[in-house]
């Protein structure tokens, strides 16, 4: 199994450009989520999904859009990139949203916005 796969690993954008970070998992997990990691701030939840067709906002959703058309895929769209969105983005999945479900993480996508 590949687990959670994120692409691209690195990306440089100019302010105002848009792009999509791809995330796919092959573990048949219902729950998928996107986090951003910034120095000294740990991981903050951007958006999450509890199943195909269902998405919800996390702690820092502004400037990002998501959709979940299949169980496997959960892309994150940056609509108009800003320097404040320079960060490392992680996709994570779990068999369960609630209780004791552990997260399985991708390797991350490092985004720089100039």
Partner 1 sequence: SQQGEEDPQALSIQEGENATMNCSYKTSINNLQWYRQNSGRGLVHLILIRSNEREKHSGRLRVTLDTSKKSSSLLITASRAADTASYFCAGRNPTDKLIFGTGTRLQVFP
Contact set with partner 1 (CB under 8 A): 4, 35, 40-45, 58-59, 90, 92, 97-100, 102-108
State the minimum distance, in angstroms, from the CB of residue 31 to partner 1: 10
Of 14 and 39, nearer to partner 1 (C-beta) is 39
Among residues 73, 107, 57, which one has the least CA distance to residue 65? Answer: 57
Among residues 72, 76, 40, which one has the least CA distance to residue 60? Answer: 76
d(CA 54, CA 34): 14
State the minimum distance, in angstroms, from the CB of residue 38 to partner 1: 10
State the minimum distance, in angstroms, from the CB of residue 94 to partner 1: 8
State the minimum distance, in angstroms, from the CB of residue 98 to partner 1: 5
Which three-class secondary structure state does DSSP give residue 83?
helix
Of 27 and 104, nearer to partner 1 (C-beta) is 104
Of 17 and 22, nearer to partner 1 (C-beta) is 22
Of 28 and 42, nearer to partner 1 (C-beta) is 42
Backbone angles phi, psi at 9, to 5 degrees: -80, -30
């Amino acid at each position: 199994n590949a687990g959670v796969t994120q692409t691209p690993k690195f990306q440089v954008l100019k302010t105002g450009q848009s792009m999509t970070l791809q995330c796919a998992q092959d573990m048949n997990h219902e729950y998928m989520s996107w986090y951003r990691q910034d120095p000294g701030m740990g991981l903050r939840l951007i958006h999450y999904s509890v199943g195909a067709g269902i998405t919800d906002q996390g702690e820092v959703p502004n400037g990002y859009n998501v959709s979940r058309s299949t169980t496997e895929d959960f892309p994150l769209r940056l609509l108009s990139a800003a320097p404040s969105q320079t960060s490392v983005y992680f996709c994570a999945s779990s068999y369960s949203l609630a209780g004791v479900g552990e997260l399985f993480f991708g390797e991350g996508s490092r985004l720089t916005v100039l």
